[in-house]
Structures are given as structure tokens and as C-alpha cells.
Chain A
Amino acid sequence: MLVKRKTHGTSGEARRARHPAIVAGLVNQAIDRRTFLRRSGLAVGGLAAAGSLSLGAVRQAEAGPMAEGVAVETRKNICTHCSVGCTVIAEVQNGVWVGQEPAWESPINRGTHCAKGASVRELVHGDRRLKYPMKLVGGQWQRTSWEEALTEISAKLGTIREQSGADSVFWLGSAKFSNEGAYLYRKLAAFWGTNSVDHQARICHSTTVAGVANTWGYGAQTNSYNDIRNSKTMIIMGGNPAEAHPVSLQHVLSGKELNQANMIVVDPRFTRTAAHATEYVRIRPGTDIPVIWGMMWHIFENGWEDKDFIASRVYGMDEVRKEVAKWTPEEVERVSGVPGEQLKRVAEMFATQKPSTLIWCMGATQKTVGTANVRAYCNLLLATGNVGSEGTGANIFRGHCNVQGATDLGLDVTSLPLYYGLAEGGWRHWARVWEVEYDWLQARFDEVPAKGGREGRDRKANMETPGITTTRWFDAVMLDPEQVDQRDNIKAMMVFGHGGNTVTRMPEVAEGLKRLDLLVVADPHPTTFAVLGERTENTYLLPICTQFECSGSRTASNRSIQWGDKVVEPIFESANDYWVIYQLAEKLGFADRMFKNIEMVEGKFGPEPQPESVLSEINRGGWSTGYCGQSPERLKAHMANQGAFDLVTLRAPRDAADVGGDYYGLPWPCWGTPEIRHPGTHILYNTNLHVKDGGGSFRARFGVEREGVTLLAEGSAPMGSELTDGHPEFTYGVLKQLGWDADLTQAERTRIETQGGANADAVSWSTDLSGGIQRVCLEHGAIPFGNGKARAMAWNLPDPVPVHREPIYTPRTDLVAQYPTRDDFRQQRVPNIGHTVQKTAIEKSIARDFPIILTSGRLVEYEGGGEETRSNKWLAELQQDMFVEINPADAAARGIGEGQLVWVTGPESGAKTRVKALVTERVGRGVAFMPFHFAGWFQGVDQRAKYPQGTDPIVLGESVNTVTTYGYDPVTGMQETKVTLCQIAAA
């Protein structure tokens, strides 16, 4: 045994003496065992309270790259990567972020992180960051000043507006914005006069939002990561949370273990998530609907459906039964490759071992049938009664840190903040909140001439017409102007916080970039946009700081809103979004109007909007989604009292100081004004709770009756509601009918009547700025948005009942005649010619020349376009090469060995990428997989030299989207990234 301790040098027994005292104390006695458990994050429930011995306090002398003897401040912020919403604790010394500590008290991450979260400190040290504003002059990057850049950009925008109209500027926002940033950006676009304002949700969960909202009311995760701990059966279909949302697996695996739950992974790829499943089902990419209908076939066949639930809370399930009947086990196996017996077993588990939850991500959504996929998933949940209670639900894992919030705040071509529609009512609502004249707003919009035999639009109609999506902006640049339904093509693009390698058909994106009159990239990094197009002038890079360098709130996937405190001042010359948006508004001439009710504070470069004040404005207008109760003060109290919230229910005890009875992060809807202290809604549509405790019902969003059949719930209502049956949404008129208007205060009544004027009865729960209607509803236990049925059949969608449609580029050409993609049509101002493309592909025998299905997905070390994470040295080291996963059989047939360079070619534009082969059984035969985070190589050419000096990410690689192809969801314009065809050959 060599167990000994040495005392050499200046060190000695004395210095070690205090160490054993602490550590021995940590692990030897009872109290310390608890402390230990707590620090290990293993304690549950009451132990959290017992752990009041704060180990943080032990830290006197600070380690790390810290100066000895200088005070250490601790700041809480939220990880800026995925949507789980992990709390980050930053230790700051002399204004420098010197250390990261586990955030034990956060009920979401309980101290933990993934590779990305554990390395976020690097983001504010990053020497690869964009350091000052830059512009292209004669094809060379030159340093410029903020003032010069913003002045030139505004002038150019003015010229374009004059010549081509407001719609010629495409405003691409970001899921990396705070809620306040997202809201201001949407407001900026509205004041500019266009609806072409979009963000990453378009390409991640737009189809989820559309599908889910059209089913039961809201486009969001119904339950939470934590609530999955209650599930007895979970299906993860089209998602790989082990890599995309690693911290969520803490809850998933705990639930799996504690409940001995069934964890079923349905995926074409044997993912790292699948490795922990109790059942893995491999499907052919693009056959989600047949698989779901196949499960429901067994469910209906065996009578496993939840008949009571369907009867009281679901509309149109019979229509679904008719479609499902076509999907016999044989047909399902023929189309998807899944054996009937396996599917039967999975279906039985899901329907009978309840509560069951369905977890999905971009495997479901990034499809030409994305919305239909989501709708099919919802139907499975509805048929088995797995919505609206603990352990059930549509657990939709969203992507970016604030993609839920940015969606909520209206970075969407089809809506205003908080899902107020583009129709006049929505605009008038926000005009009231903003205190600007509706007519002034309308005047900001273009008039659109008639084109190609299609009608033109006046300003009002244009104001109410959805804009152009981020998946198609380059088409709107390059198409014949006759084909683009607005005054002129897109001429300028303002990109805030968005990667340039995130949309399909990159060779065409590159061409579109080249043709823009103005390109502005506002981001901590240059992004792929800076290097992809062959641009020489009129291109600006504006250094934006990360969310760690400014304060604001962000909404996690489970709708919890968390406030992040600025950790350090923006580094280099970077500025926060708030200031840049304010500057743009000012230079474009409408800052006074836009920031009328927003308090300004002194920032790094002068006056900037105060995020708390912006959130208060959101609260004042956020009734429709219950963004009204989450005041900055309440959110800050939650961050300060994270330890009070229960791990599973997310609720604080009623006697907890400041946050008593609240759900963590006041997950929306948090009804009424902040003063009435609604606790937020942990689980949507949950009739087992009083509305005041976060209960609810399906939203009566689609009317009260259709073709003589009621759309309102029958015999089902939130617990304690005075209305025990279905009812429509509340208006002042409904309130009066029920006699509940008597409960309004005089101030509320006056406000409603002033606001409504002659039409006061129509003032609704979502437009009443007094909050009185919501308050009174809650008092009576009634849900403000009405108690409706979920729609199994959504008549307003292209496929009211989802039907299988083969991918545009499918290897199963034999199935196309029976299951064709939708006919060509016009969508979001541009044509969608998917049907023609599919037909042409078959005529040209594309499937013969490109026999391998190509799908794409995420790596744990990187996020999104990857520019930021590939610039982080601690992450970049872990994934240094872009690769393609190829099945050993396919590799052998092509003479491809492990690690060898190969060309992956796509069927459009002669697209090609040069990447490393990773030969693995992870993908099935005939399927290849590529991660989507790489850029900086384009079709075999290294583009490192095109980055401004010193800002090139450490790791560069080919982008999968160079070879991905045409295909758009008919509802949202979502792109197809999950199923296309490719060929692979040794390079």
C-alpha cells in the first residue's frame, strides 16, 4: 500500500488541516450525508429544505482563475442553448466571469448541465466573437463604428422601402432573443410595416405549434420535463433528447426507473436516447402517420381507447377511425417496415399502462407532412385519454433557449405577439396596448398590385396577410416578381441571431444572398451568412452580446418563464438587442411611438429600453396566452426562491415567502394581472385542478358547434368550476348573461366600456385590458377561454384528418401513386411546387441514382447552426469533423471505410459535400445521417479565409443543408430536413 501523504515544499500539515475538517464533515455524519446527497442532487422532497446548510457559504477563499481576496458576486442566468432552461450560476469577480457553480436549487436542472451548459462561461471570453461592427468594402471586411453602420443601414433601408416597399425587407429574428428582445423585434417589424418577420421556430416547431394549437388551443408543450417523472409509458418519436435536451433525460430516466416505466423510442436511427429505451422501433423515415395510425388500429381493434374521455372532450374522432381503419398491420408494415406485433405491443402499453406521454421533436416536425404528423400524434393522445393530467400529454421538446418565448411573442409571419391574429381585432388590440393609432400602423404597410391574375391587396389586406417565411426568403429574392405576392421581391435581409446554414437548399440560399441589396447580420458571431454568399458590398456585421451580457426573461419549453440577470457587461464593442433595436427605430424615425411607454435606462452606449419595462408592456397586452401575470417582480422572486419549488409538481408550498403556491416560472397561462397572483399553469387543459390552481380545459377556440355537432365539452369542466359543462369563451356580454359582471370593479367596468364603446359586449377575456373579465372568471372557477372539445378532425387544415403522404424524394416510388404529396399551391406569398418536384423526381429516376435516404439531426456538443458552439474551445475539441453515418452494408458496397472522406451528393443543384464516413449500425441499411451544426466548408471548398480575421469558428465543416432538398409543409412552410435522397461515394 502506498497510501500516504507527503509534506514537501512550502505546503504542510497546517494547510491540509482545514481541508479534512470540511470534507470529513461532509461525508461522515448524518447531517453531512444529507448535505452530500443534496449536492449530488439525489435528495428529493424534504431533503431540499433540510439542506439549509449552504455549502456555497463554505467558499471563503475562491479557487478558479480568481484573484485571491477579491469579492465574488454570484449571478443567476439561464443557459442560452436548448429549451430545457437550466439555471446557470455565474461567479463574477472584478466584472469578469470567473467560475460556474451548480445551480442546485433550480427544479429544472438541479445543478446539472450538458456539455454546452457546462461550458457557457467560454461564451463571454470567446476570442472568436465578433469584436466590433464590420462591413464589406470591395469584398474585404473593414472595421466600422456603430454609428456609421446603423446610419448607413437605416439609409439603405429607407431607399429600399421607397423603391420596393416595406415588404422588401425580411426581418429574421431569433430564438436567442429574450422575451423582451423578441417582442421589441416583432414590434419593430410592425412599425416598419411588414409581416415578414420570422425566427427559428419556423424551422423547428412551427408545425407543432400549428398542429397542437389547432387540436386543443395552444401551441406549446402541455406538461413539463419534470412531469414526465409521473409517466408510466412514454413514447419518444422523432426526437433524440439525450443529445438535444440532455438534462431532460434526468427526468425521463428517473421516471423510467422509479415507475419502472415503459420507454419506447420510435426512430429511424438508433439514437443515444434509444440506447436507454425499453423498446426500440425502427421505422422508415417519413412514415410517422402510418405508424401512429397503425398503433391506433390496434387500439380501436381491441377497444383500448378511452371512451369516456373521447365522448366528453374530443370532437371528430369518428372521422379519424375511418382513416385508421385503412392502416391494417400489413399495410403499416409494407409502408413503414414496422412489424405488426411490435406495434401492437407498443400500442397496448401506451393505451393501457397509463399515464402515457408522447415526446417529440424535429423528427416529427421538419417534414412536408409536419403539421399532419403532429395532428396524428395528438390523436393518439386524445384516443387514449392522455392529455390534461399528470404524467400524460404532448411533451414537445422545443429547440432553442427561448424558441417558445420568441414564438409566443410573435416572431411569426402569421401572428402578432401572444398569438393575436393578423386580423383587424389583433392589430387593434396591440394598437391599444401600444397607444398608437391603428390607422398610422396601417399606413406603414404596402399596397400590393395584382400579379399573375391574382388579386392585389390594399394596405389593410396586406397588413392582415401572412409574410414570407425564413424557409423561402431566397425564393422571394430570386423568383420572377410576378410570382411573389407583394409589391416587390425581397431586397434586404436583417438577420438577428440566426445561423445561415439552417435552411435547406443552400446552393440556392447562397445565390439569394448574393442578390440581396442589403444584408445585415447582428449576432455575437459572423455566422454562415457572412461567408456563404459571394458578396462584396452592403453587408454589415453587428456584434450583439449573448443573453449572459444582458438581463431579460426567457420561456423554457414547459412555458416556465425565467428571469436572467446580466452576468457581465457586453464584451468588446458588442451591444445588446434592446439598444440596437432602439437605435434602428430611432434612425428609421418611429422610436418615439414605439418606445412611448417603455422606460429607458442608461446602457453601455447610451439610453436603452429597460427589459423590466418591456415585460410590463407585454403583461399589459398578453391576456390571450396568460402572459399577463408574470411581472418582472414575480419572476425575480422565483429566481431568488428556486429552492421552494417541488421537483415533480413544480409548485411552491402555499406558505413559501414571495412565491407561495406558485408554479415555477409562472408557466403560461398565468391569468389576470400580477396582483391577483395566479400561480401559472403547470399542466395545460387539466380538469383535475381549480383554475386558480392552474386547472383548465380544452380551449373553445373553434366555435360552439359545427354541422349540428357541439364543439363544447360535455360533462367535463375544471374542478370547482361553477360552469360544469362546456361553454364558449368569455366576453363582457357573456359575463352579463351570467350576471357575473356584478363582480367587476368600477374601474374594470369603466375600462371595458370605454374600450368597447358601442360594442362593449364583444370585449373579450383576451382583449380586456383591465383584466377584469379574467379575474371574475377565476373567481367563479371558470376558464376564460371557454371549455371546448379538442379537435380530432381539424376542418380548417389541408388534411383535416392526417393522411400519409410519401416524402417528395422517396426511395419507395411504388407508393407515390397511392400516397402522393399535396398538389402545387401558393403559400405565404410564394408558390409551393412540391407535387411537381415529386413527379419530376420519379420521371428522372432520382431514387435509382440517389438510393440512400438522408436524414439529419443534432449532436450534443453543438447547437443550431453551430457557429457559437463551434467557436467554444471546450466544445469544439469534442467534435472536430463533420461526418455522415452510414450503415456497414452500404459502406461495404461502396468500398468506404471508417473515417474515410466521402462525397455525399444530393439530387438538386448538383449539390455535394465532402465529409468523413462514420460506419455504424446506428443507421439502418439504406439510411444515412448527418449532423446539422456545421458550416464553413461549402461543396468541398474551405471558406475559413472569408471570415473576418479572428472570428472564424475553431471547427468548420460542410453543412448538411447543402444537400437537403425541396419540400414544405402546407400549413407553415416548414422545410423538409429529415427525408431526402443522396448518394455516397469515396472521395
Chain B
Amino acid sequence: MLRASLTSFAKGARTALAAFALLGLAAVLVPSDVRAQSINPTASAVTEEQLLQALQPGGEIAGRVSIPDQKATGLIKPGGQDWRAFHQGTMLWITAIALLGMLAIVVAFYAVRGKITIDSGMSGLKILRFNSFERFVHWLTAGSFLILALTGLNLVLGRYVLIPLFGPEAFAAATQWGKYAHNYLAWPFMAGLVFMLAVWIKDNIPDRTDVAWLKAGGGLLKKGVHPDAKKFNAGQKGIFWSVILGGAALSVTGVLLLFPYLAGGYADWQLVQIIHGIVAAVLVAIMVGHIYIGSVGMQGAFDAMGSGEVDFNWAKEHHSLWAEEARRKQGGASAGTPGARPAPQPAE
């Protein structure tokens, strides 16, 4: 960039010199006493060189057009080149590193730590962790996110990975459908975010237990260590807030990208696209971790979002405070409810 600017400056200087020379010539021709009253539109014509030099980063050389399309007023927007450089450079690397990096971490973790099992073994007793609405909300969000992520990644990386495999026509057709999917599934994703926030925010307010949990490394690194946690431990709270905040950022920027005719000028679009891309890359990476720990990474974890019922021992180990409370509540509640599952029994 810097070098490019210097080069253009050098070229600009040459042109400017030529212009000065011409001005000097004009000055000789026009008697000095009357110059003050002269309006010479030819001599005072704006030049591209002046405007380019005065241009701020992200700015554009713009004027008036008679058509209503106000984005047509921009004549030259060198910022397009910057966006291109970012999109094809930094952005590409961030996405690749985030994705591949997280995959590498997960694989390494699996290799070192292996699957986290329930230390005390399965109790055989089930405890309701997420009701059907909570699960619906989770899978609504997760499912749409998965498609959004894959179609999004496709836009960034597909060109390099998939075109050589499938050829341009098949890839373009798939990507076209991917775009439709991305545009339409954004709405269930956003709905999921709203529900998620409503359902789980009360359990995701950070508190002191989270500090202890974090100090203990969540017990993830060492077998047999199980710091106390409420319904959601600090790690899960982190996931929650990543999803809520990241999702909100993606939603806002996504909607702006979806309705380009509402959302400002080209510089705004570029910024919005950059935010959308980076947040998406980071969130995808986080989700890779989340998916790992929620599935193959931890024994008994998937049940929470599968059947909704978890093994009581799993609950005691990972959500000790919630497990106790849930047992109490569900025990009490189930007593008077016909058809309710039997209350879980302590394993001692």
C-alpha cells in the first residue's frame, strides 16, 4: 500500500509539474491587471490529480448524477482496491486460520485428553436438562447456523477448494443455491437467537461460580476435576454470549448486506461485509469447539440436546449446583404430575 502510494505520488508530482508549467504559460498570456475579474472555467477546471491527492482513505471522488441511484454519484473509489486486498488477503487468512486452527486444536485435544467420560459412570437415572422448546430453539439455531456457515465459508474458500473439484458450472449452481439458503435461513437463525436469548439469558449471567470454574480450567484438562457449575458453566456461558453477540453482529450486518439498497454507500457495505466475514469466521471456529465438546468430546453431553435428558451422574459432575436443584425441583414437581418420569435417585 505504502509503496503504491509513493509511486502514485511520484507520478502525480510529474503531472502536477506539467500542470504548473501550463498554468505558468496561461499566466503569461493573461494581463495581470485584469486577472482578478476573470472567470476562466477552462483554467479552473478540476483535475483528477488534485482530487486523488485530497482523497481520504475510504473516500471517493463523487459528483452529481441526474438518475435517482445515489450510489452512482461515486466516480472513483480507490477504496475498492483496499477492500479487495483485505478480502483476498487478511480475510482469507483469518478464515482459514480460524477454521483450520480450531480443527487442529480439537484434534490435538482429543489426542491428548481423549473423550471426557463420566468419572462415576452412568447412573442410569435421567434428569431433564432441556425441555422440548429449548431443544427446538437450539436446533433451529444450530441447524440454520450450520448451513449459513457452510454456505458462507463456500463464498470465501469454495473458489479455491471446490472449483477444481467440481468445475465452475456445478460450483456456481451450488453456490447460487447456497446464496438462497444463506439469505433465507438467516431468518430462522435470527429467530433462534431471539428465542435463545429469552430462554437462557437468566442462566447465563456470569457470577462467582464462573470464576472458580475458570480457575479450575473447567476441569477439562484433568481427569477427575469437576468444579461447581450451575445450569451453564462458564465455558457454556462463553458459548452463549459468543452466539448471542456474534449472532447479533452477523444479523445486523447480514440484514444490511441483504438489503443493499437500504444500507448506506459502498464504504458502509465494505465495512459491513468485513465485520460479517470476521465475526463469522471466529464464530465458526468457536462452534467447531462447541460441536466437539457437545458430541464426540464428552460422554453424555449430546443427550442434553438429544433427548433432553441427561444422566444424573453427568449432571452432577459438570453442573453440580444445577443438578441438585433440578433434582429437587423435578422430584417435587413430578410427584403430583401424572405420567411424569420417576424422580432420579442419588447414586450413593
Contact = CB atoms under 8 A, between A and B. Distances in A.
Contact of A341 (B37, B41, B45): B37
Nearest to B68: A880
A583 B38 CA distance: 60
Interface in B7-64: 33-34, 37-43, 45
Nearest to A898: B64
B66 interface: yes
Nearest to B45: A275
Interface string A874-890: 00011110000000000
A278 interface: yes
Interface string B115-153: 000000000000000000000000000000000000000
B168 interface: yes
Contact of B42 (A9, A276, A339): A276
Contact of A274 (B41, B66, B169): B41
Q: Determine chain A's interface SS by DSSP, over half rule.
A: loop
B159 to A, nearest CB: 12
A216 interface: no
Contacts of A282: 39
Nearest to A859: B66
B67 interface: yes
Contacts of B68: 880
B62 to A, nearest CB: 14
A183 interface: no
A345 B167 CA distance: 71
Nearest to B29: A260
Given A341-B34, A879-B66, A275 B169 contact: no
Contacts of A281: 39
A413 to B, nearest CB: 38
Nearest to B30: A345
Contacts of B66: 861, 878-879
Given A8-B168, A877-B67, A878-B67, A345 B39 contact: no
Contacts of B43: 278
Given A878-B67, A880-B68, A279 B39 contact: yes
A9 B37 contact: no
A277 B34 contact: no
Given A877-B67, A878-B66, A880-B68, A9 B39 contact: no
Interface string A336-380: 000101101100000000000000000000000000000000000
A280 interface: yes
Contacts of A341: 33-34, 37
A342 B67 contact: no
A8 B38 contact: no
Contacts of A342: 34, 37-38
A652 to B, nearest CB: 35
Contacts of A275: 41, 45
B72 to A, nearest CB: 11
Interface residues of B, number: 16
A709 to B, nearest CB: 39
Nearest to B167: A8
Nearest to B42: A278
Interface string B51-87: 0000000000000001110000000000000000000
Nearest to A274: B41
Interface residues of A, number: 24
Nearest to A265: B41
Nearest to A282: B39
Nearest to B31: A345
B115 to A, nearest CB: 46
Interface string B161-180: 00000011100000000000
Nearest to A256: B42
Contacts of A879: 66
Interface in A280-298: 280-282
Contacts of A276: 41-42
A9 B167 CA distance: 11
Given A341-B34, A878-B66, A880-B68, A277 B169 contact: no
A278 B26 CA distance: 11
B169 A8 contact: yes
A6 B68 CA distance: 36
Contacts of B40: 277-280
Contacts of B39: 279-282
Contacts of B33: 341
Interface string A245-281: 0000000000000000001000000100011111111
Contacts of A861: 66
A345 B42 contact: no
A398 B97 CA distance: 70
Nearest to B37: A342
Contact of B38 (A6, A279, A877, A878): A279
A342 B33 CA distance: 11
A276 B34 CA distance: 20
A136 B211 CA distance: 87
A277 B38 contact: no
Interface string A8-37: 110000000000000000000000000000
A344 B38 CA distance: 11
A878 B64 CA distance: 12
B67 A280 contact: no
Interface in B258-304: none
Contacts of A8: 167-169
Nearest to A270: B41
Contacts of B41: 270, 274-278, 280
A339 B169 contact: no
B171 to A, nearest CB: 11
A278 B40 CA distance: 5
A344 B40 CA distance: 15
B194 to A, nearest CB: 37
- With most chain B CB atoms within 10 A of its CB, the pick from A276, A280, A861 is A280
B81 to A, nearest CB: 14
Contact of A339 (B37, B45, B67, B167): B37
A263 B43 CA distance: 12
A879 B33 CA distance: 43
Contacts of B169: 8-9
Nearest to A338: B37
B75 to A, nearest CB: 16
Nearest to A880: B68
Nearest to A883: B66
Contacts of B38: 279, 342, 345
A877 B67 CA distance: 7
A933 B45 CA distance: 30
Contacts of A344: 34
A123 to B, nearest CB: 21
Contacts of A880: 67-68
A861 B37 CA distance: 34
Interface of B: 33-34, 37-43, 45, 66-68, 167-169
22 contacts: A263-B42, A270-B41, A274-B41, A276-B41, A277-B40, A277-B41, A277-B42, A278-B40, A279-B38, A279-B39, A279-B40, A280-B39, A280-B41, A339-B37, A342-B37, A344-B34, A345-B34, A345-B38, A861-B66, A878-B67, A879-B66, A880-B67
Given A277-B40, A345-B38, 18 more contacts: A6-B168, A8-B167, A263-B42, A274-B41, A275-B45, A276-B42, A278-B41, A278-B42, A279-B40, A281-B39, A339-B37, A341-B37, A344-B34, A345-B34, A861-B66, A878-B66, A879-B66, A880-B67
Q: 3 tightest A-B contacts by CB? A: A280-B39, A342-B37, A278-B42
